[in-house]
Structures are given as structure tokens and as C-alpha cells.
Structure 1
Amino acid sequence: MPPSPVTPQPAAARRHAFLLWAGAAFVAVLAAAVALGPITLVDERFSDVLHRQEARTRVPPDSIVLIDIDQRSLEDPQMLELLGNWPWPRAAHGEIVEYLARFGPRAIVFDLIFSEPDVFRPHSDAHFATALESYPVLLPLVVASDGNASPLAALAPVMGLSAGPDADPAAALPLIAPKALPPHLWRTGLINFLEDDDGLGRRYWLHYRHRGWTLPSLPTRTANELGIPVPEDESLRLHWYGQPFERISYRDAYLDSLGEHPQLGVRFAGRTVIIGAAAPGLHDLRPTPLSASTPGPMILATALGNLENGDWLRPVSGGYAFLAGLVLLTMTGIAFARQWNPAATAAAFLTVSLAIVLAAAALLRVNLLWQPFSALLVALGYYFTAGLWSWLRERRRREHTVQMFGRFLDPTVVATLSDTGQMAEATAGRKSEITVLFSDIRGFTTLSETREPEEIVALLNRYFDRQVEVIFEHGGTLDKFIGDAIMAFWGAPMARADHAYAAVLAAMAMVEQLEAFRQEIGEDLAGFDVGIGIHSGAAVVGFLGSKRRLDYTAIGDTVNLASRIEGATKGRARVLVSESTRDACLAQNDCKVDFVDMGEVTVKGRHQPVRLFEPRWRTR
């Protein structure tokens, strides 16, 4: 028997070929995404989400404290009276340095640019310089995008620049240096904001290299002063602290410095003090993964805290992201190739994806930055591609199935079998217990002799429409039309215990439809009648035919006997059934049919006579 057209062998091969080629294409995309980073920002943005969650529990080192030039410091009446509007005289910073020095801080770091002398208050600059002579501080340096370039060789001894073996003696950079102070006080470090392509700052310079020269960043210079090891990398991936650094308003520190008995000073003892701008109007707010307006001193403190704790983020090799994506691609391909349940496929994909995301989150806690998110997106693209392709193929298959089986079965039954995935199993060739019905028109030859061919065809089509509807309404399967005869059966492709009773009820309804049809036509159809034979038994049911033409049919002795019984109806009754059919009907608890014994009949192909019965509606 040919294979069922519901699941043709080439379909699996085409499915596997598509999934293989699509998978290979997505593996190439995955490799490119990992190696070339075309969608790096996807990784960064998803990493930011995890980082914000993980940062909530991270506590910064207690060894760092910030003095903020905040809005309160700028607007406080006492500060306005003492220092006036911003920019303040630099003598105020000198007084802060002197104040802090009394309590023994580890280091004092300014995150303020002193690029030009105060021509109106030179004595103020002098006071600041005197304070720095007594207690050296670390100052910021900025590499400008343009302007007059300064020779690096001349500045190296002052700024702590280091020259590599290939250092260019003529190398120069446009630098914004603390020119308000004498050069010998320039203990500087770079504070240039290092932003990614999306404008967010996730890293901080460690060493800025230019033509063989290395400029240390301010965190690097500070760490070197404090004896903290610094990696040789160009930059440091910041590991943010969600819990705040201790921050003290410049206003509070300055006013405390003027008092005879300072109260805040002990909070600076043995700690690194970073002084910088936090007020929005001072334009030192930067976008970071934590906030769109993170104060520059906070970023500086984070970099220094990372160096001190050794907890900056170390990137994990992209090969592991590729491996994670490959696992997802492989699993997805296997799931669609083996036609897993869609819900199970989705659940497996989500479970593995979630495990990868949770692994990335867990690695953050041990200072490792793993970014598998672009790989996950590539795998997700493959999942949707394979899913869409499978859905379209399944849709075409179901449409083909409904179209094919709509000839044999009630369309609602076809839809049920297709939607529940039982069609292939139900229509596979097998031996089944069924009831077969043959219905043949009586008087057709006489009728055809008195009418035109077109009338005969139209009349028969109207009649067959009615009878096929009856068969479908009673759950039957239309096997075929044989001239003016109809063959149908019950019990396949959907097995049912009452197949015999359903066939008998259908036959009696077909007789009623015949009467209604004759009245509807309203013409002389006295000779137009029907004979129906029914038999129950075992038969082979399935698709028979060639590759070009297949029909769902039943074959075997049960079919032959049903046909012989239909032939025996002439002169006896419109409907006759075999003894096996009668017994099956009477076994039904709600049987509403009586069976009149019509005696035994000898039929072709049988050595023993066959006892036949006429079904009639039960009247009692």
C-alpha cells in the first residue's frame, strides 16, 4: 500500500534540508556577530540591565569619600556671602586642602579644571598654590579635541608621563592642564570621558597612549601614589556600586573648616577625598548605565574603588557566547527537525535562554562580564525563521489535507483530525472493524431513456448532494461513486463502537431523503427508487492507487458482501442488512430500530446462504 499522502517521505527530507541550510546561515551570522561585533550595543544594553540589578547590592569601599560642589553649596546664603557666585576664588579650595590636611587623608583628588589663572584675584591663586606646596594633591588633565599642542617630552617629568622605546620626541597633544598653578605642582591624571557608540560611559581610561607616550589617568595616578596595583590595559571596565559613596556637601566642609572645633574632619582621616562638581549647572554630569546624569566625581570614585578592590569587570572570551548560541541553534534545529510539540519547543528554548542569562548575571558577581545577548538574538532569529517556515508548511499541509479528505469526510471531521494531529495515524493503512453501505438507484435506465443527458446529470447531482450530506451527518466516510451507486463506510478513519448503528440510521435517512427529493422534483419519478445493502466486518482501509491518483477506500470480503446484499434488495426491500450488522445494532443500549427477518439469500462468492434483515423504526 502506498504511503499516506498526509506525511510523504520527501517532506521530511525537505524539512531537514531547510533547517540545515538555515542553521548554517545563522551559525555564520553568529560567528560574525561574535567576531566582528556588529551588534555590540545589543550586548551592552542587555548587560546594562543585568548590571543595574546586580549593582543594587554592591557597596563601595569605605576608604573613599566625596566632597560635592552641589546646588546647596552654590545657593546657600552663607556661601554666597563668603565666596560669592561661582566660580569661587581658588583660595577657598586652598582652605579646604589645609582643613583636610589637618586630619591626615590618604590622598586629596580634585576633579575640577584649573586651566587659566584668575587675573582678577591672583592672590587667591597664590593661596591655593601655597596650600598645595604644603600638602600635594592630585589634579585633572584633559586631552582636548583641538587647540595648541603641548610637547609631551617637555611635560613628562612634571605630569608623570612615561616614554616607551618607540616614543616620538616630537609628539605633542592639545592638553588642558592646571595652568592656574605652577608646573611643579602638576601631579595630574587624565579624566577624559570615555564613551561607547551609544554615548554611555562604561569604561575609564587607565593609560592614554600616543605615539609611544603614555599618559596615566587620574585613577591610575592616584592608585600609583597609594601603592595600589594597576593593570597595564588601556582602559578599565567599570563595575558600578549601587550603594552610594559617602558624600559631603562642599558647603558643610567649608563652613566646618572655618569653625574653631571642626566636627566633620574626622570623617576624612585615612581616606581618599575626591572634590568635584555635582550641581547640574556645572556641566559635569555624564550618562552611564546607572543614570543619564552621573556626576563626574562619582565615575572617578568608581574607577578608583574598582582599582582598590580589584573588582573591575573582566570580559569573558567571545568564544563562550558563540558556544552558547551554537547550543541554542542546535537544540532549535533538532526540535523543529523532529517536530517537537510547539509548546515544548518554546519552553525548551526559553529555559536554555534563561539559563544563559542567569549565568551572565551570576558571572557579574565574580567580576566577569559575559555578553551572550547578540548570540541569543541570532538564535532567536533562527527560532522564529524555523518556526515561521514550519507554520507555513503545516498550514499548506492542512489545507491540502482538508482539500483531499473533504471529498471523503465531513469537513468538520477533517478539521478535527488535522488540528489534533491525528490525520496521519487515522488514515494509515490498517485492518479495521467497519460497516460498509452500498446504495444503488433503481429505475435509472428507464429514466435515462426518457430524458436528455443534461437533465439526467443535473438530476443525479442534486440527488447525490442530498445523500452525501446524510452520510456526512451520520459520521460516514464517502468511498466513491460507482456510476449511479454510492459506496460509504463507518468506523474509519475515526474508529467508533456504533459504526453499524450509524450506518443503519444513515440508510433510513437516505430513504427519507429520497422521498423528499421525489416530492421536491414534482415530476413523474415513480420509477426512481433506491436499494441499500449494509454489512459489518473486518476490512483493510487506507489509501490505494498510484502516485498520481490515490483514493481512501476499503477492500476485502466485507465490502464484497455489502455489495451483494445491495443487489439482493430488488423485489425485497429498500434497505437490507446482514446478521452481523443487526447484532451490532441491537447491542446498542439506545437502539430505536427493529429488524424484520427477510430470510436467507444465496450470494455470489459465498458457500453458505446469508440471512438478511430489513430495518424499521421501532414503534413501541
Structure 2
Amino acid sequence: MNRRGQALAFIGVLAFALVAVLVWRPSPLLPAVGDLEWPFYDWHLQASARKKPLTIAESPVVIVAMDDETPIKLAFSEVLEDPFYPLPRSCHGDLLRQLERAGVRGIAFDLVFTEKSEHDESFLSALKTRQGTLAATRPLQTETGEETFVPLASTLEEGLTPASVEVPRSAGRSVRFIPSLVQDQGSTRLDRHVPHLGIALVAAGEGVLEQAAQVTGGYFLWGTLRLPIAASFGSNTALIRYLGPENTFPRVRYEDILLSDSPPAELKGKLVFVGRYSTLEDRHMTPLGEMTGTEILANIAYMTATRNSLRTTEAWSLWIGLGLSVAFLILVWRFTLLPALLGAGLLGSAWTLLTHATFLRTGVWWESATPLLLLGLSVAITTPYEIVRAHRAFKTQVSAAAAHSALSGRGMQLGTQEVYVTVVFCDIRGFTSFCETHSADAVEAMLRSYFEAGDSAARRFGSELDKFMGDAILLYFFELPKQEPGAVRAIRWAWEMQRAAETIGIQVGIGIASGLAREGFIGTPGRMQRTVIGDVVNLASRLQEATKTLKTPILLSEGSFSQLESLTAEPLGEITVRGKQQPVRVFRPAPVKE
């Protein structure tokens, strides 16, 4: 594996490690990865939500609802003296008898009976006619920090079974999961478990309320009930699979049953919640909008009774994310960044749609956030690495000035401008003979040393190699502020190259000419390059050729000679060069020390 492959592998391991830390040990400075998952969960539920309310015949769960009009209607019917809440518990007893006559399977009061009442005896006598009537109880924090539950009124303990109505809120203050089993250490019923009211009503209806409940193998088991546990949210929590928004479940008015001569026959075999239905009290935000606590309990009971609970696969999320990241990194390695980014988008979209379809069809919730976070982190780390790598590779193919223009906001545009420049041509003497007498590896090694020496010296003197033409080098020196004249820096480079050539074991001839030229991008819109064109370029090339006949390593033009300040040069007279009608004066610069 090359260096790039090793870097990509390191990126994959780093991204996996970072996400693993966030999953297992979330930082207080960052949201837990689980919180990022909730929008996907909400989306799944909203897409699968029932559009029409259930009828009583369709639903195993029915709500007997009390609202603001209930006490008024009961007072009007002379059942109550005053039209106010709370209703006398004797009314609850009469309601219980009516529901018993209707043949309901289970009854749960979403009401808290913690205080004694003068009507408890009447209520208790009705409770004794049936076993397993449930009542709500709420969590209580003791002075020692232990969690327990508010006990029922002692006058009703004989007839009611307490059950929790705790609905914890997750990110966004929405109710999405329930504690399915909580140990009650504070009530008089020691060593008993207090299950959730929504689950306990189903257990009562199926006759397993008195059986032992346990959490094992990722499931909450209670007689015939089997509820998958969402372990990532707690050791004994379960996700709520909402059937639909508020008013999905059928409601029967409390006073209609209480005042009826005969209870509704359609309630036979139903699981019944009795609770307040208010637009102001006991309301909670859910993925499907705001709804009452009783409606949330109905959703819990429905999914438990119909065995339609959600199953989670959070244990696989990290490994799936690793697979997506590895696929992306392979795309980067085999292709380039842009196709890989498109591939990452397709991978993420495909995984999201697959999890959505799986949720809708099977009720299995494959986490989306963790795999997508791992894939996104790999993309976020890889992208700048690949951009920097591409920039570096680009700069090795073109000059730094051309790279800067191409990568800046201006971009590359065809066109040139007039500048004063010193152009240098350097060529190896006897290169053809060298190739004939040396192996290809030796020729390549020599050229590499030759070019590296030229590039190093050029950068030191404020220039860079513009072109490699076989064994020839073209470079130029612009006039720079607070720098020696371009011709002086060109001569220093030329003598540096002479010393490097001697070390390498070759000889080079160098021609230097200064003057006006056109500098910029030439070519076509589809392919262009940055260079210098003009008579001065041709003259530098001809002077390099003339070094052979004059037997001197370096030749200067008159324009370059006029720029010399701290250096000296010997006049060699006029010579005729190819392509020039008039003779040109040439000079041989004195050697420059290192």
C-alpha cells in the first residue's frame, strides 16, 4: 500500500474511533449521537402514521374520556352537587360496574389516587368485583436519592394495582420511549415491580398481571407479553411505536357510560383507559404532535397488545458506518475526490432510504445517524487531505505562479501582459553521447539530480523552473522589490548550476538575456499554460547555443549586462546568432562565489 493508501486507512480508523467515543462516552460539550438519531425516528413514524381514526370495532384499546364538560353534565343530571373536579370516587365505582357489565377485558385509571376520600368505600366495593384494575402512580425521589413511586391511598390498596405513567422526554422535549420495568423500593409492596400502565393494562387483559416479569435477552418478558428493549436508552426501556396523531384512538365520554341504562355493547373485550382529556393539562409533545398522556398510554397499549413493537439494531450501527466509510475511502483511492463524494452521497442516501423502508415494512429500526456520522466524518477528514494533496500534485506540474492563479478566485484566463524579464536557457553538453554510453536508469538518475539542483537554486534566487525540454531548462527572473536585479540573480543561478553540474559529472551551457517580453497564459480555453514569449526568449536560447562555439559556460546579452551592479562581466564583442539580422554584443560573467 502506498503512502496515500496508508493515509486513507488512517483516516478511516480515526473517524471510527471518534464516533465510537461519541457513542460510548458522549462528551458534555457535544450532543449524544442518540440525540442525532431522533429526527430519523420521527420521520419514520410520521411516514407510517395512520391517517384516519380507529373505530371502536377496529381498536383493541378505547379511551373513556373526561373533559371540562363532564362535571357540568353530571351536575345537570343531579349525579353531582357541584360541577367541579375532582369527581367523587363513587362515580368511578359506578363507572367500573358499567364497564364490568359491558365485558371489558381490562381497566386502567389514568388518575392518581394517593389521598383518602370519603367515597373510597363505595369505590372499593366496585373494585372488589373484578381483579386487576389499575391506577396511575408517579415517580418519587426520596431524600436518599432513591427512585420510588407515590403509594396509593391505603384505603384502596386492596382493590387497585399501581402502575407507572412516567413518560421521559428525549431531545426536543418529545416523548419517544418508556421505562418498561422499574423497581419500586418505597411502597408497602416491597419486592414488587411497578410496570408501565400502558403495558400493565395489556397484561391484565391477558391474565398475566400476577406473573413475574423480567428483562432477559433484550426483551421484557411478562407472561405472554414480549416487548423488545431499546438498550441504548436504558437497561429496561422500550420505544413507543405511535400509531397515529392525537384522536387516533376511539373515545367514549365518561358521562355517557355513567348515565346510560346499559353500557355500550361494542366495549366488550376492549382494554379501557379512563382519564382526563384536556387541551391544557397533561399534554406532551410527541413525534406526531402534541397529545394527552392518556393518548400516549393508548399507543403503548396498542403496540403491546398487537405485538407491533419496535425492534432496534443499535449494536450494528458502528460497523455499518465503518462499512460505509471504507466504501467511500476505496472510491477515493481508486478514483478521485469528486466521484468519491458523489459516491458518498449515494451511499448515505441509499442507507437512509433502506432504513426507512425497513422501518415501514418490518418495524425494525436500523440507526441512521451513527453510520451517516461516521461516513460524514470520513468525508470531512478526507476532503481537505485530498484537496491539499491535489494542490501539491498540481503545483509539481505547473509553476507556482500558474498554480496560484489557477487556484485563486481569478482562475486561469488566456492573455498576456508586457513585463521586463531576464530569461535563462540551460542545456547539457554531450547529452546524446551520455545516453549512448549509460543505462536508462543512470540517465534518469542524472537528470533527476540535474533538475533538482536547478529547481533548488531557482527557488533560492526568487524564481522557479518554467519548462523541461528534454535535457534543457527554461526559467526567468522578474524584477522583484527589495531584491537584486533579475540579471544578477540569473548569473548567480547560472554559476550555482555550473558547480552542481561539475558535481554530477556533466557540463552545461547557459544563455542569459534581459528585455521586454509578454508574460501570461497562452493556448486554448481547453488547454493553456503560463509562460513568457518574445524576442528576449529567442535570444537567450541562441546565446545558449553560442556557448559551444565561444567555448564559455555562460553568455550574457547586452540587456543583462546593463543590469549588473555588484557583478562584473567581460565583453566578448559582437556575434551573429541564428534568427537575428543584426549582430549582438555578448559578455562572459565573472565567476561568482557560493
Query: What's the counterpart of residue 296 of structure 1?
Result: 293
1:275 partner SS:
strand
Among 20, 33, 41, the alignment partner of 2:9 is 20
Contact 2:97 2:126 in 1 (8 A): yes
Structure 2 residue matching 1:214: 3-state secondary structure = strand
Determine the structure 1 residue equivalent to 2:367. 371
Pick one of 179, 191, 198 that aligns with 1:205: 179
Q: Identify if the C-alpha distance between structure 1 residues 131 and 54 changes in structure 2 by more than 3 Å, giving closer, same or farther.
A: same
C-alpha contact (below 8 Å) 2:239/2:310 kept by paired residues: yes
Correspondence list, 1:403-552, <5 A: 403-404=399-400, 406=402, 415=412, 466-468=516-518, 478=532, 485-487=539-541
Among 173, 190, 198, the alignment partner of 2:164 is 190
Give the conservation status (yes or no) of the 8 Å contact 2:139–2:149.
Answer: yes
Instruction: Provide, for residues 318-375 of structure 1, a one-character-per-residue CA deviation record: whole Å limited to 9, x for no partner.
Output: 22x1222112211222233345251x32321111111111222122231212213123
**Do the aligned partners of 1:141 and 1:175 also contact (CA within 8 Å) in 2?**
no
User: Which residue is equivalent to 2:241?
Assistant: 239
Aligned to 2:318: 322
Partner of 2:475: none
Q: In 2, distance between residues paired with 1:59 and 1:21?
A: 54
Structure 2: state its 5+ residue gaps.
27-31, 186-190, 209-223, 230-235, 415-465, 471-484, 489-512, 543-574, 584-594
Q: Please list, as runs of the form range in 1=range in 2, the aligned pairs for 1:32-431 lying within 5 A after superposition.
A: 32-36=21-25, 38-56=32-50, 62-73=59-70, 83=80, 84-118=83-117, 122=118, 124-136=119-131, 138-142=133-137, 144-146=139-141, 174-179=148-153, 181-196=155-170, 199-209=173-183, 213-227=192-206, 229-231=224-226, 234-242=236-244, 244-248=247-251, 250=253, 253-255=254-256, 257-260=258-261, 265-282=264-281, 284-291=282-289, 293-319=290-316, 321-340=317-336, 342=338, 344-365=339-360, 366-395=362-391, 403-404=399-400, 406=402, 415=412
Give 1:257's aligned amino acid: L
Q: Which runs of 5+ in 1 are unaligned?
A: 1-11, 150-171, 418-426, 432-453, 458-462, 489-530, 532-562, 572-620
Q: Secondary structure at the residue paired with 1:310? A: coil
Q: Rg bigger for which structure?
A: 1
Q: Tell me how far 1:223 sits from its aligned partner.
A: 2.6
Asked if structure 2 preserves the Cα contact closer than 8 Å seen for 1:67 and 1:248, the reply is yes
Partners of 2:89 and 2:120 within 8 A in 1: yes
Query: Match for residue 31 of structure 1?
Result: 20
Farther-moved stretch of structure 1 (468-477 vs 193-202): 468-477
CA contact (8 A) 2:312 2:364 kept: yes
TM-score, structure 1 length as denominator? 0.57
In structure 1, C-alpha distance between the alignment counterparts of 2:521 and 2:226, rounded to whole Å: 85
Q: For the residues of structure 2 that align with 1:102 and 1:225, how far apart are their CA atoms?
A: 17
How far apart in 2 are the matches of 1:78 and 1:72? 10
Tell me which amino acid in the other structure corresponds to 1:288: T
Instruction: Determine if contact 1:114/1:180 at 8 Å carries over to the other structure.
Output: no
CA distance in 1, matches of 2:97, 2:284: 30
What is the CA distance between 1:174 and its match in structure 2? 4.7
The AA in structure 2 aligned to 1:214 is H
Query: Which amino acid in the other structure matches residue 36 of structure 2?
Result: V
Q: Secondary structure at the match of 1:287?
A: strand
Q: Structure 1 residues 268 and 42 mapped into 2: Cα distance closer, same or farther (>3 Å)?
A: same
Taking a change above 3 Å as real, the CA distance of residues 258 and 68 of structure 1, as seen in their structure-2 partners, is closer
1-structure distance, mates of 2:196, 2:411: 74
Provide the TM-score with structure 2 as the length reference. Answer: 0.59
C-alpha displacement at 1:192, in angstroms?
2.6
CA distance in 1, matches of 2:539, 2:407: 22
Determine if contact 1:141/1:177 at 8 Å carries over to the other structure.
no
CA contact (8 A) 1:314 1:368 kept: yes
Provide the rounded CA distance (Å) in 2 between the counterparts of 1:361 and 1:428: 57
Q: Is the 8 A contact 2:202 2:271 kept in 1?
A: no
CA contact (8 A) 1:191 1:205 kept: no
Query: Do the aligned partners of 2:65 and 2:251 also contact (CA within 8 Å) in 1?
Result: yes
Q: Is the 8 A contact 1:69 1:276 kept in 2?
A: yes
Farther-moved stretch of structure 1 (190-199 vs 477-486): 477-486
The answer to whether the 8 Å contact 1:95/1:257 transfers is yes
**Percent of paired sites with the same residue:** 17
Tell me the amino acid that sits aligned with residue 47 of structure 2: Q
Q: Which residue of 1 aligns with 2:449?
A: none
8 Å CA contact retained: 2:517, 2:534: no
Q: Distance in 2 between matches of 1:411 and 1:377?
A: 30
SS in 1 for 2:193: strand
Could you list the per-position Cα deviations for residues 209-242 of structure 1 after superposition, in whole angstroms to 9, with x for gaps in the alignment?
A: 3576433333443333322722376333221101
Question: What is the Cα-based RMSD across aligned positions, in Å?
Answer: 4.7
Q: Which moved more, 1:91-100 or 1:301-310?
A: 91-100
1:382 is displaced (CA, Å) by 1.7
Output the amino acid matched with 1:235: T
> Residue 152 of structure 1 corresponds to which residue in structure 2?
none
* Contact 2:517-2:532 at 8 Å conserved across structures: no
Query: CA offset at residue 20 of structure 1?
Result: 2.7
